[in-house]
Amino acid sequence: MDAVAERAYQKLEANLEELTKIYRQLLDVVRKEKEILVRADRDALEESNLLKEELLYKLRAQDSLRSRYAMDLATIVGADIENPRLLELAQKLAGTPAADRLRTQHAALDLLIKRITTINKENEEYTMSALKTLNGALDNIKEALSGKKTYESKGKYKQGPQVSGNFVSKEA
């Protein structure tokens, strides 16, 4: 590999290492998020969400750089410039330590992204289940506390559970 290709590869490699570091941080955040959801700690959840947003912002910035660095290397090694792929770049660099390193970084990033996606989906399912349960409980309370909208046979408005003694039946 010539000096120009080596510099382009080094930029891409440094960027991929930074991406891996950020994805690992994001994985830690989504793992801890479930614990926070179970504890129902609203303040900790807000902090967690802010940290996730910050990490996602960093990921977008690093991914833009990755794309540019990959295009630069693709131009030098003769790979697809429009949509450079790490595995294709590794194939073009076959027989060099750089090719093995790109394959390793690709596998690590792929695994991290799959884990983050899986855990995040589990957290979403847990959150949706909790919200459904909470909404059901709130609907039951609203229904129990709202006055009945029916009339008795004497024409008087029937008293609802909001009147003392009607919330819980005296008969057991």
Average pLDDT over residues 12-18: 95
Per-position DSSP letters for 61-127, written without gaps between them: HHHHHHHHHHHHHHHHHT--SSS--HHHHHHHTTTSHHHHHHHHHHHHHHHHHHHHHHHHHHHHHHH
- Judge whether residue 32 has pLDDT over 70: yes
Q: For 85-97, how does the pLDDT look when each residue is reduced to its tens digit (9 = 90+)?
A: 988 988 988 888 9
Question: Is the sign of the CA dihedral 55, 56, 59, 64 positive or negative?
Answer: negative
Q: For 114-156, how does the pLDDT look when each residue is reduced to its tens digit (9 = 90+)?
A: 999 999 999 999 888 888 888 888 888 877 777 666 555 565 5
Average pLDDT over residues 76-83: 86
- Judge whether residue 75 has pLDDT over 70: yes
Q: According to the model, what pLDDT value does residue 42 have?
A: 85
Task: Give the Å distances, CA to CA, from 77 to 54, 81, 87, 105, 137.
Answer: 34, 10, 13, 19, 62
Q: According to the model, what pLDDT value does residue 172 have?
A: 47
- Judge whether residue 113 has pLDDT over 90: yes
The SS3 call for residue 146 is coil
Domains of the chain, residue spans: 3-145
Give me the CATH topology for the region 3-145.
Answer: Methane Monooxygenase Hydroxylase; Chain G, domain 1 (1.20.58)
- Residue 101 banded pLDDT, cuts 50, 70, 90: very high
